[in-house]
């Protein structure tokens, strides 16, 4: 629900921004209310601006006391609650022209939370949540007014967003003031290279430097310095290519070499692995290590390069890391994080031998108890599995899954999943069940985690295309965890796919019928279930006619378009004769789970949902009706009971119309919308007819 609310808020912000811009009709290259001197909405958002991000800061106001120029500034404060937000404005630009954006920024007690890379600064984006074209420097703590300035090339469509960034890609607390936002065109399209002074920022400056004759290698190094100093918060774009250009030039240009030595000496730990793999950067790092100011970082870089590409054995590479970091934990964590990122890159490029080497070096160099040890163990196990090193993965997972092993729960979970996966791939059902049982014991106090574990195991089997095993795993979920509605729905959806991939069209159709019955009262899920039923009908009968009949049944129900049963346009439910029959193992689990559920108000909910997955909607309806009758007069309990009844009516009747009638009856009662009995809009309880004993 929170995600839905956030989307609604975001859409409202977009509409508000569009309306404000339309009202101001800013010319090309012009901002509306750039100094925050104009009015503001009830929520404090200045005219012409809109709020982006997940949450609105608690304190949004135009501040007349703290300002850099004019009468007011924009103040954003979190009120002590971590916030992820920015305030943006869409601008029209001349495509290809070079623009300069500047803003005054001031902070008080500002602190990033969760690794926010974009902090109290200004940015330019292609669109909301789109590519970040440019980004000012981040700010923390308490600072006086600082002017942040960035230059950028306007996108080809002539549209961009300029944003005052409170925090993005993470959250923050504290207060930030913005004032005096300015946007100016400083070069026509294609003319940026003619500027005497290098543009500010990263990408525009790098392009300017490369197009000079001869190229300005110092300026290019400065642009890359700007990028890496901000933690790579911007989308990389051509950063790796720029660095390669500088690296190649350093072989012939003394100026490029000096600039590159300094750059590598400061930022070798975050240079893209593609550059390290394509170019020999050791000479530059070795030279940087001779500089007292660069030596510490350069040694970290050399250790990283050795782990990635060196010829030294694992022990030798691990010793280089230990010598480089010494007893200081901060550089160790920085280097380990960089190498873990390298592992992901190597995996993405299918360079599994190198990925295994880096993991082995990390396993040898990161001691037990280190904050990064668990991440290293998880990465190592993931690489062994991806490399199809069954023996290595089994050995590593067995050590981590051992009850005596001192490992965090997420790592133990990953190990147990790996052991289940390897056992299933070997066709060892007994071992598979043994590890599943151990996982159940591991998460005995966390039913949700138990259910997610079984679902993740089913997904792993699906990735191996072991569809019979997938079907068994999915049924274990739906028969064992009726309380975990979202997990069960995902498992049922995967079950339909498993039968479909086996070309078992009868069971796929029956499973799709259950999926339709259990689909929550959401347009997305119901539409998805209807589509899967139609696909299953088409595949089972090799005809689209029955799929169309199902759509017609959804539209009008059994009474047809005239709404009267027993007439020529009555519609038959093509799923009426379709019955779901669980596997023998699942049937036993359904029986066991049913016995464990109490016959009280709370237990009836889970019993009802269990019956739906069991393929017994008539019993589910009875459970939910009784639960509704027992529901206390509390909003949450009533809403939940009504919602469950609507789901059960869909499963029992095979269409949503009965649920709609039930909702109308809840709202208006027997008097109908006009509030008077004996008129044409009187309503009947739709459950009365459905619950009559069958003769």
**Per-residue confidence band for 231, with pLDDT thresholds at 50, 70 and 90:** low
Count of Cβ atoms closer than 10 Å to residue 573 Cβ: 18
Segment (H or E) for 59: strand 59-63
Taking residues 610-622, report their average pLDDT. Answer: 97
Count of alpha carbons within 13 angstroms of residue 609, beta-carbon side: 26
3-state secondary structure labels for all residues of 147-165: EEEEEEECCCCCEEEEEEE
Q: What is the pLDDT of residues 562-602, one digit of tens each?
A: 878 888 888 899 999 999 999 999 999 999 999 999 999 99
Taking residues 15-23, report their average pLDDT. Answer: 41
Burial (Cβ within 10 Å: 0-12, 13-18, ≥19) of residue 692: exposed
In this prediction, residue 242 carries a pLDDT of 82
- The C-alpha atoms of residue 36 and residue 667 are separated, in whole angstroms, by 47
Q: By the 8 A CB rule, do 495 and 474 touch?
A: yes
- The C-alpha atoms of residue 633 and residue 602 are separated, in whole angstroms, by 15
Q: What angle do CA 198, 200, 202 make, to 5 degrees?
A: 105
Confidence check: pLDDT of 23 > 50: no
Helices and strands of the chain, counted as H and E runs: 27, 9
Give domain 1-190's CATH number out of 3.40.50.300, 3.30.210.10, 2.60.120.260, 3.30.420.40: 2.60.120.260
In this prediction, residue 383 carries a pLDDT of 97
Q: By the 8 A CB rule, do 54 and 82 touch?
A: no
Angle between helices 429-442 and 409-425 (to 10 degrees): 170
Lowest-confidence range among 229-238, 462-471, 636-645? 229-238
Beta strands 98-113 and 118-125, pairing class: unpaired
- Tokens representing residue 284 in the block: 């530059």
In this prediction, residue 20 carries a pLDDT of 41
Taking residues 395-410, report their average pLDDT. Answer: 91
Taking residues 120-140, report their average pLDDT. Answer: 83
- Tokens representing residue 274 in the block: 């593609």
Q: What is the pLDDT of residues 431-490, one digit of tens each?
A: 999 999 999 999 999 999 999 999 999 999 999 899 999 999 999 999 999 999 999 999
- The C-alpha atoms of residue 129 and residue 168 are separated, in whole angstroms, by 10
Mark residue 341 as left, alpha or beta (left: phi above 0; alpha: psi -120 to 50; beta: remaining).
Answer: alpha
In this prediction, residue 115 carries a pLDDT of 65
Q: What is the pLDDT of residues 104-125, one digit of tens each?
A: 999 999 998 866 778 899 989 8
**Per-residue confidence band for 343, with pLDDT thresholds at 50, 70 and 90:** very high
Nearest one of 205, 155, 167, 161 to 181, comparing CA atoms? 161
Which residues sit opposite 182 in a β-bridge?
Answer: 102
Q: How many residues does this entry show for the chain?
A: 695
In this prediction, residue 213 carries a pLDDT of 84
In this prediction, residue 24 carries a pLDDT of 46
What are the b/e assignments for 158-191, b being 16+ CB within 10 Å? eebbbbbbbbbbbbbbbbbbbbbbebeebbeeee
Confidence check: pLDDT of 208 > 60: yes
Q: Name the fold adopted by 370-556.
A: 1.25.40
Query: Quick one: DSSP state of residue 574?
Result: T
* Residue 287: C-alpha distances to residues 198, 264, 301, 302, 317 (Å): 28, 10, 12, 11, 20
Q: By the 8 A CB rule, do 477 and 491 touch?
A: yes
- The C-alpha atoms of residue 295 and residue 326 are separated, in whole angstroms, by 13
Lowest-confidence range among 344-348, 480-484, 661-665, 682-686? 682-686
In this prediction, residue 10 carries a pLDDT of 39
- The C-alpha atoms of residue 252 and residue 261 are separated, in whole angstroms, by 14
Q: By the 8 A CB rule, do 263 and 221 touch?
A: yes
- The C-alpha atoms of residue 534 and residue 596 are separated, in whole angstroms, by 36
**Per-residue confidence band for 15, with pLDDT thresholds at 50, 70 and 90:** very low
**Torsion 14-16-18-20 (CA) sign:** negative
Average of per-residue pLDDT values in the chain: 89
In this prediction, residue 79 carries a pLDDT of 84
Taking residues 69-96, report their average pLDDT. Answer: 91
- The C-alpha atoms of residue 39 and residue 89 are separated, in whole angstroms, by 15
Query: Which residues have a Cβ under 8 Å from the Cβ of 33 and sit 6 or more positions away?
Result: 24, 46, 47, 48, 49
Confidence check: pLDDT of 650 > 90: yes
Q: Reply yes or no: is the peptide bond before residue 214 cis, omega within 30 of 0.
A: yes
- Tokens representing residue 255 in the block: 């100026």
First-to-final CA distance of the chain: 44
Confidence check: pLDDT of 28 > 50: yes
Residues of the chain with CATH 1.25.40.10: 370-556
* Residue 401: C-alpha distances to residues 217, 386, 407 (Å): 52, 19, 9
In this prediction, residue 197 carries a pLDDT of 84
Phi, psi of 314 (to 5 degrees): -60, -45
Confidence check: pLDDT of 16 > 50: no
Nearest one of 275, 345, 272, 339 to 307, comparing CA atoms? 339
Residues of the chain with CATH 2.60.120.260: 1-190
- The C-alpha atoms of residue 48 and residue 27 are separated, in whole angstroms, by 13
In this prediction, residue 26 carries a pLDDT of 64
Count of Cβ atoms closer than 10 Å to residue 539 Cβ: 16
Q: By the 8 A CB rule, do 219 and 263 touch?
A: no
**Per-residue confidence band for 54, with pLDDT thresholds at 50, 70 and 90:** confident
Confidence check: pLDDT of 606 > 50: yes
Burial (Cβ within 10 Å: 0-12, 13-18, ≥19) of residue 632: exposed
Lowest-confidence range among 111-125, 410-424, 531-545, 642-656? 111-125
User: Higher confidence at residue 564 or residue 544?
Assistant: 544
- Tokens representing residue 673 in the block: 């919308």
Confidence check: pLDDT of 644 > 90: yes
Q: What is the pLDDT of residues 166-175, one digit of tens each?
A: 988 788 999 9
Taking residues 317-340, report their average pLDDT. Answer: 90
User: Higher confidence at residue 126 or residue 386?
Assistant: 386
- The C-alpha atoms of residue 54 and residue 52 are separated, in whole angstroms, by 7
- Tokens representing residue 208 in the block: 């300017």
In this prediction, residue 551 carries a pLDDT of 92
Confidence check: pLDDT of 11 > 90: no
Confidence check: pLDDT of 686 > 60: yes
């Amino acid at each position: 629900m929170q995600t839905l609310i956030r989307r609604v808020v975001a859409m409202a912000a977009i509409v508000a921004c569009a309306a404000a811009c339309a009202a101001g009709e800013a010319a090309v290259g012009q901002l509306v209310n750039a100094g925050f001197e104009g009015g503001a909405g009830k929520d404090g958002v200045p005219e012409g601006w809109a709020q982006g991000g997940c949450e609105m800061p608690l304190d949004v106001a135009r501040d007349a006391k703290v300002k850099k120029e004019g009468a007011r500034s924009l103040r954003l404060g979190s009120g002590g609650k971590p916030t992820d937000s920015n305030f943006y404005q869409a601008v029209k630009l001349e495509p290809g022209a070079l623009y300069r954006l500047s803003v005054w920024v001031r902070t008080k007690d500002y602190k990033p939370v969760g690794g926010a890379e974009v902090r109290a600064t200004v940015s330019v984006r292609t669109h909301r949540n789109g590519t970040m074209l440019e980004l000012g420097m981040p700010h923390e703590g308490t600072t006086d007014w600082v002017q942040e300035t960035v230059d950028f090339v306007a996108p080809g469509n002539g549209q961009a967003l300029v944003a005052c960034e409170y925090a993005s890609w993470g959250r923050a607390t504290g207060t930030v003031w913005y004032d005096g936002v300015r946007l100016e065109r400083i070069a026509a399209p294609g003319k940026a290279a003619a500027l005497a002074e290098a543009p500010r920022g990263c990408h525009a400056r790098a392009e300017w430097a490369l197009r000079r004759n001869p190229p300005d290698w110092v300026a290019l190094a400065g642009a890359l310095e700007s990028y890496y100093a901000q933690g790579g918060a911007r989308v990389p774009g051509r950063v790796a290519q720029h660095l390669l250009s500088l690296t190649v030039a350093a072989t012939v240009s003394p100026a490029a070499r000096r600039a590159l030595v300094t750059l590598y000496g400061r930022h070798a730990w975050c240079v893209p692995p593609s550059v390290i793999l394509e170019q020999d950067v050791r000479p530059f790092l070795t030279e940087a290590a001779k500089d007292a100011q660069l030596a510490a970082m350069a040694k970290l870089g050399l250790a990283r390069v050795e782990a990635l590409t060196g010829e030294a054995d694992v022990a030798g590479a691990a010793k280089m890391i230990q010598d480089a970091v010494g007893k200081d934990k901060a550089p160790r964590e920085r280097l380990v994080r960089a190498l873990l990122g390298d592992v992901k890159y190597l995996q993405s490029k299918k360079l599994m031998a190198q990925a295994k080497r880096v993991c082995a070096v990390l396993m040898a160099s990161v001691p037990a108890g280190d904050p990064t040890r668990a991440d290293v163990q998880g990465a190592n196990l993931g690489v062994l599995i991806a490399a199809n090193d069954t023996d290595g993965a089994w050995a590593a997972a067995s050590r981590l899954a051992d009850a005596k092993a001192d490992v965090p729960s997420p790592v133990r979970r990953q190990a147990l999943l790996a052991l289940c996966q390897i056992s299933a791939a070997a066709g060892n059902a007994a071992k598979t069940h043994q590890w599943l049982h151990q996982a159940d014991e591991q998460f005995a106090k966390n039913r949700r985690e138990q259910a997610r574990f079984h679902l993740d195991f089913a997904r792993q089997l699906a990735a191996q295309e072991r569809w019979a095993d997938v079907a068994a795993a999915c049924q274990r979920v739906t028969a064992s965890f009726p309380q975990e509605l979202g997990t069960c729905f995902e498992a049922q959806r995967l079950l339909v796919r498993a039968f479909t991939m086996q070309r078992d069209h009868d069971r796929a159709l029956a499973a799709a019928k259950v999926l339709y019955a259990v689909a929550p009262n959401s347009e997305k899920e119901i539409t998805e279930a209807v589509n899967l039923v139609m696909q299953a009908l088409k595949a089972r009968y090799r005809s689209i006619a029955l799929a169309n009949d199902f759509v017609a049944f959804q539209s009008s129900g059994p009474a047809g378009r005239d709404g009267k049963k027993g007439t020529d346009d009555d519609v038959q439910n093509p799923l009426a004769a379709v019955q779901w029959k669980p596997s023998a193992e699942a049937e036993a689990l359904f029986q066991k789970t049913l016995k464990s559920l109490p016959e009280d108000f709370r237990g009836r909910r889970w019993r009802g949902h269990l019956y739906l997955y069991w393929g017994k909607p008539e019993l589910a309806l009875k459970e939910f009706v009784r639960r509704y009758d027992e529901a206390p007069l509390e909003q949450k309990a009533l809403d939940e009971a009504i919602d469950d009844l609507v789901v059960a009516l869909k499963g029992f009747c095979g269409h949503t119309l009965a649920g709609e009638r039930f909702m109308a009856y809840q709202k208006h009662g027997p008097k109908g919308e006009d509030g008077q009995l004996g008129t044409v809009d009187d309503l009947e309880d739709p459950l009365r007819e459905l619950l009559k004993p069958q003769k």
